[in-house]
Structure 1
Amino acid sequence: MPKPIKKHVQKRTVGEREVISLFEKFVDYYLENKKTVYLGAALAVLLIAIVTGLLIY
């Protein structure tokens, strides 16, 4: 018995809207939540300073 002929299936194309880089996501988040980003950055710097101070002291 012969093998059945396979139909060529076109791959689904990804729309341009779905392709968003990580940097673009961060920029969008930053523009919408500037206060939260600044607060998070300040807390991160403070935490690093405390840990560094404890290690040196």
Structure 2
Amino acid sequence: MYTEQINNVTTVISTTDTLANRFIGLATGTYCVANAKAIGVSMYDFDAGDSISVALPG
């Protein structure tokens, strides 16, 4: 699993390259909530400081 904390939000995602690359910007390393929502794995509304986990198959 891959864990990253950005703006006090901790996300945990698969380390499978194909999946991880959808969520981790190749240039910036930032977590992309828009992409997560686009493929239907992130349906959370949360405030900065909340901790959420996103688990992906694979």
Give TM-score, length-normalised by structure 1: 0.23
* Higher RCO structure (Cα 8 Å, ≥6 apart): 2
Bigger share in strand:
2
Bigger share in helix:
1
Give TM-score, length-normalised by structure 2: 0.23
